[in-house]
Amino acid sequence: MVPPMGRLEGKVAFITGAARGQGRAHAVRLASEGANIIGVDICAPLDVKYAPATLDDLHETADLVAAEGRKMTAVQADVRELDELEEAVARGLADFGRLDVVIANAGVLTAGLLWEITEEHWQQMIDVNLTGVWHTMKATVPTLIEQGQGGSIIIVSSVAGLRGVPFVGHYVAAKHGAVGLCRTLANEVGAYKIRVNSIHPAAVDTRMNDDPDLFELVIRFADTLAPIFMNTLPYTMMDPSDVSNLVAFLASDESLYITGAQLPIDFGTLGR
């Protein structure tokens, strides 16, 4: 059966953290819009308190992409290792011949008071959630420039990239850093018709919300900090596919003139 035409017909998207959660949702949604996918995930344990993604998860994402009538090159790779990402890009180019969309989505979450976060958790956070974004740019931007056809880069940040969310100071630092990368890269690649934007979801229903330390701290400080977590809209949690709606827009030519922007999808948690 020939799949229906979509907004991303004939395009190829590179997605980190594609095994499950937001990464899987973005892969499936972009496939439904006509894109083939290069999906990358570490598929290995990390120092976190929720279950890690597995190779079976990554293969399931590939099956879901196939169900949309598209193909996915699934690669086990760690965003902390530039050479692994470069190899993933090379494999995808060998399979599909081009690259159009880059989604820097891979991330981890641990929780703790800022002065109690361990050195190990701090370093892991920066390595994955910030350096991993930079590595993703290094591995993909040269191809986008060489192709000479523009492209869209989407950095998955968080409301924590726009405000001082308590109990995850290292996560806040990394996500703010990713915004800096977004703004700088948008300026540097604009001449090549490559646009770069960051998105900022509030609570998304993924395994990251299973961290017991974060839940305990929210309860402990509820008397003083509860207002920080209040939303303008009457919602508290979104499905990953809700974020994918914004991702699909930014990946498509409908966002042709948007670059260097920080786009919240946050229930109005910033109090606008």
pLDDT in tens, 167-211: 999 999 999 999 999 999 999 999 999 999 999 999 999 988 888
How do beta strands 12-16 and 72-76 pair?
Answer: unpaired
What average pLDDT does range 41-56 have in this prediction?
A: 95
The average confidence (pLDDT) of the chain is 95
The dihedral over CA atoms of 103, 240, 164, 47, expressed in degrees to the nearest 10, equals -80
Q: Helix or strand or coil: residue 149?
A: coil
What are the structural domains of the chain? 12-259 (3.40.50.720)
Contact, 69 vs 85, CB < 8 A? no
pLDDT in tens, 71-111: 999 999 999 999 999 999 999 999 999 999 999 999 999 99
What sign has the CA pseudo-torsion 162, 163, 168, 174?
positive
pLDDT in tens, 129-164: 999 999 999 999 999 999 999 999 999 999 999 999
pLDDT in tens, 102-115: 999 999 999 999 99
pLDDT for 214: 87
Element spanning 194, H or E: strand 194-201
Share above pLDDT 70 across residues of the chain, in percent, rounded to a whole number? 97
For the annotated catalytic residues, the residue numbers are 171
User: pTM to 2 decimals?
Assistant: 0.95
